[in-house]
Structure formats: structure tokens, C-alpha cells
Amino acid sequence: MQQLVSELLNGNRRAAARLISLVENDDPQKRELLREIYPHTGNAYVIGVTGAPGSGKSSLVDWLLKELRRDALTVGVIAVDPTSPFSGGAILGDRIRMQDHAMDQDIFIRSMGTRGSLGGLSRATREAIQVLDAFGKDIILIETVGVGQSEVDIVRTADSTLVVLTPAGGDSVQTIKAGIMEIADIFVVNKSDLPGAERTATEINMMLDMKSDAPWRPPVVPTVSVANEGIEELWKSVQDHRRYMEESGRLIDVRRERVSRELTEQVEYLVKSHIWAQVKEEIKLDDLVGKIVNREQDPYSAAGELLETIDFYGKDT
């Protein structure tokens, strides 16, 4: 295992790929690995790309990669596609649009299924970011599923969030999914070759101007990702946002929040696994369930009694 991590730090692509699998599969050694990797993280800038299915996220990522490479930046891409709730399988097809970069040694692309997670990313996306960060990638691009129940995942994960909208169907901005306006650092109106694009951009701009007190006013960038139009402007906007994040101190704030959330999650995880390990060792949960089903016990006092039998300070996890 140590071997894998040192190979990762030496830039071995197979090691990076294997480590992502290990965290994604919840390998028993996952926490140990992440612990070893952690000191080497914190250098990558994370850019999220979200938007409705088919809005052109993958095509945009493909073009953005060209801009990033022109600036000699190394890039990791994590592209998330939905896992079928019925079979547990998935078709991960985002790479189709990124094939031009398949042989670029400074780009590492990884596809992930949501595997039951509902927020537009998979549970392991953040851990995969850590692997690619330690791997030395300057920029990490995340393509979300875009049908998440909430887009909270991506805002909590990315330093800059791009929301991709399209003029398709003449959708008015009023019909845009609630919550999407709030999360964008940059709006992309992709498929601007289609009718209605200008109106869409105008409407977004009007809505943004109504709340003009925000320190960062998201730009609205029209693009045609099948024709490489607007991509340079888009990349400039991302760089502007990054500069704003860094110079205003906002980047440090959001990263602090992220770490604080991670710490809370880790504590909760440890407490939970510590408690359950003991509960399973000492108490026959099935018997209790039987009693509750038969109304000999109620779940509220049963839970309380369970906790009383636990030695919180006993063994380590």
C-alpha cells in the first residue's frame, strides 16, 4: 500500500488509477491510504461543471482542456454519470467527447458512477480528487451528473462552479431548477448557435442585476462547444473568478469550511463505527428487533439502553 502511494507521488498513472478504485470500492485500507495521501494535497484548484443532461458539459470540458493545456497546466478530470438504481450498473460515456486528450500524459481522466448518491457527485468523488491532487494535477475538472436532487455537492467540492444552461426548448430562466441560480460562479449559455440564446443570456443577466450587492457578480458567457466559440472567454472568466477567490480571501474561507465539514464527518464516522462495532459484538440486535416488533419494547428506550451498555472510552477503532 505504501508502495502504491509512493508510486502515485512519483507520477505513476497506474497507481493513481488503482488508488481511485480502492477509495471508490470502500476498500478496508481506504482510510489509511487517504491519511498517507493527505499531506500531499491542497495544491490543486477544483473547477466544477454542472448543468442539465445533454447541455454540453463534456464538450465544454473537452475544449477547456485545450485552453488549460495551452497554459501548460496539468489536469485531472472526474466525470460522473448516473448509476442505474435498478441494476446498479452504469454507462459512463463522458469520455467520448474527450478522446482527443486520451494520449496526453498530463491529463488524467476518470469516469465514475454515482453508485446510489443523489447529489450529483458520487460519494467517492471528493476522495478521488484528493488522489489526483496528490498526483500533482494543477487543475481538477469535475463534471457532475446534472440531475442531482440538489447541487450542494458540487458547490461544497469545487473552488469555482460553472453552471451550463442552454436555450433549448425556449425555456425561460424562470423555469430553471430552484437553487441553480445561487450556486453559479459563472453561467455558461451553451448551444448559443440555437435560437433563443440571446434571450436566455439577457434573462440571466437581469436576474443577476437584481441582487447586485454580492461581491462577485457571475458573468454570463455564451458558448458553442461544438464549434469552439466562446471557450477562450470562458477560460478567462474562470481565471478571473479564481483571482477573485484568492485575492479576496474567499478561497481560504471556503476551504476552511470544507475542512471543518470533513472533520465533522470523520468524527461522526468514527463514533458510529465505534458504537456499532460494540453493539454487534455484545448485543443480539435481532432479539431486540423481535421484542420491538412484538411491542414488548419500544425503539426509543431500546436505543437508550443500548447506548448505556457501550464503553465509549474503551478500545480504539
Ligand X SMILES: Nc1nc2c(ncn2[C@@H]2O[C@H](COP(=O)(O)OP(=O)(O)OP(=O)(O)O)[C@@H](O)[C@H]2O)c(=O)[nH]1
CB of 148 to ligand X, least distance (A): 11
Exposed, middle or buried by CB within 10 Å (0-12, 13-18, 19+), for 166?
buried
Element (H, E) at 153: helix 152-157
CB of 148 to Mg ion, least distance (A): 14
Measured CA to CA in angstroms, residue 234 lies from 124, 129, 159, 280 at distances of: 28, 23, 16, 54
Contact (CB, 8 A) for 165 and 225 = no
Binding mask 85-124 toward Mg ion (x if CB under 5 A, else -) reads ---------x------------------------------
Asked if 85 interacts with another protein (CB under 8 A), we say no
Comparing CB distances to Mg ion, the nearer of 164 and 220 is 164
CB of 244 to another protein, least distance (A): 32
Comparing CB distances to Mg ion, the nearer of 97 and 156 is 97
Asked if 226 interacts with another protein (CB under 8 A), we say no
Measured CA to CA in angstroms, residue 196 lies from 117, 170, 171, 188 at distances of: 34, 6, 9, 14
CB of 22 to another protein, least distance (A): 9
Comparing CB distances to ligand X, the nearer of 130 and 161 is 161
DSSP annotation of 51: E
Q: How many CA atoms lie within 13 A of 220 on its CB side?
A: 19
Q: Which of residues 48, 51, 113, 136 is near another protein by CB under 8 A?
A: 113
Return the biggest CA–CA distance within the chain: 70
* C-alpha to C-alpha distance for 154 and 190, rounded to whole angstroms: 19
- Residue 225 interacts, among another protein, ligand X, Mg ion, none and using kind-specific CB cut-offs from 5 to 8 Å, with ligand X
Comparing CB distances to another protein, the nearer of 41 and 111 is 111
Beta bridge partners of 77: 109, 141
The residues near 262 (Cβ < 8 Å, ≥ 6 apart) are none
Residue nearest to Mg ion (CB): 58
Asked if 6 interacts with another protein (CB under 8 A), we say no
- Residue 237 interacts, among Mg ion, another protein, ligand X, none and using kind-specific CB cut-offs from 5 to 8 Å, with none
Comparing CB distances to Mg ion, the nearer of 58 and 157 is 58
CB of 92 to Mg ion, least distance (A): 9
* C-alpha to C-alpha distance for 244 and 293, rounded to whole angstroms: 58
Residues lying near another protein in the complex (CB under 8 A): 13-14, 16-18, 20-21, 25-28, 83-84, 86-93, 95-96, 99, 102-103, 108-111, 113, 115
